[in-house]
Amino acid sequence: MKVEVVCYSGYKADQRPVRFRLGGQDYSVEELLDQWYGPQDVFFKVKANDGNVYILRRRSTTPEGEWSLESFRDMRRGG
């Protein structure tokens, strides 16, 4: 599922997500829980302001760095 992401850009572009839009809803990233690299992607596990955990993927092989939602965990229901 495609997602729109706004990133913090420090010493490099798109360093880490700070906000994202999913299904017409805006979310703020409260905490970066983990980050890892695949051969063609960068993954970010984040806790959003709704209390849930999301895994966002950025394609590092495309110039525009397409983002997608890879996983979602509803923490409000103990999941």
Q: Enter the pTM of the model.
A: 0.83
Residue 2 has pLDDT above 90, yes or no: no
pLDDT tens per residue, range 27-54: 999 999 999 999 999 999 999 999 999 9
Question: Which of 66, 74, 70 has the alpha carbon at shortest distance from 4?
Answer: 66
**CA torsion sign, 30 to 36 to 41 to 45?**
negative
Residue 78 has pLDDT above 70, yes or no: no
